[in-house]
Structure 1
Amino acid sequence: MHRARPALWAALLTALALLRGPPVARAGAGAVGAGPVVRCEPCDANALAQCAPPPAAPACAELVREPGCGCCLTCALREGQPCGVYTERCSSGHSCQEPPGEPRPLQALLDGRGFCVNASATGRLHAYLLPAPSAPSEPRATAGNRSGAAPETANGPDLEGNSRRTDKVIHVE
């Protein structure tokens, strides 16, 4: 038998490790109802102690949590201001919507090209603003109510008793 070279074995083991994927990706693979891959740290006293003081009342009409897993408070975006998946949240009663007629609505929200609009008027105006797609090339999406209040079904324990915190909700129709 030929003696195997250590470099060849190292390359083979590295390739196998890369094919398996990172441990985080494997943790939820194949599990039904495994939940989100990215888990937010809790907003406990230690996390809140690291926050800067919230903006003063005259500068900001409404305070909301920062985007993503943020615990700290920041100003909510007002109606008509640009928004997206990674921007500050829209104020209460508003949601981030892609521009009317946008051919790639999800991409527009990912790129921050949405606008805060009155959430109650959105449903009524949607049929008039957007033509019915013949063959959708991308799922229809909105960034949901970005006021920090996620739908009741998105928060709380899942079926397995694991606590979940949902900061951003994307509705796909």
Structure 2
Amino acid sequence: MDFLVKLSDGFIGMFQAGADTFMGFLTGIVPLLITLILFVNALIKIIGEDRVFGFMQVCTKFMILRYTLIPFLACFFLTNPMCYTFGRFLKEEHKAAYYDSTVSMLHPIVGLFPHANSAELFVFLGVASGYAQVGNQSELGLRYLLAGFVIILIRGILTERIAAVLASRDKKKAVNA
């Protein structure tokens, strides 16, 4: 009988823990995310969509900006999944590398700017809770973001080169056919 009581308490306790976590999200993370999204949308309206998009188009001409700043700003301003739409400013041969860089930025940006990919926030918070025992959570977020910039630049450059090689092979096959 004691076993059944403990099993029943554990079963209900699991759902109570889930409900407590859910309420914590509703009173903590959800209002934060909504406020951040509203702020970013207001900032775009204040600056002007034409200016933001014009700036992006100029930046795409430079490889280092194309695979660092553009993915970061796209994730920051448009969030996931809309950030991929900034690929429209790129030449066709750069789009695959932009996508690769942007996908890779969606994880590291969350530590400092959780609105960019709120679904990823729960993974980051799990890592950060362990890190908080030995260090500062903001420090972790900054290190995560800086490492992300290095990784997305490398991935962007490599993907651009791979896409160029594959495109040249396709052109050779088309000429020989």
Q: TM-score, normalised by structure 2?
A: 0.27
Flag the structure with higher strand content. Answer: 1
Flag the structure with higher helix content. Answer: 2
Higher relative contact order (CA 8 A, sep 6+): 2
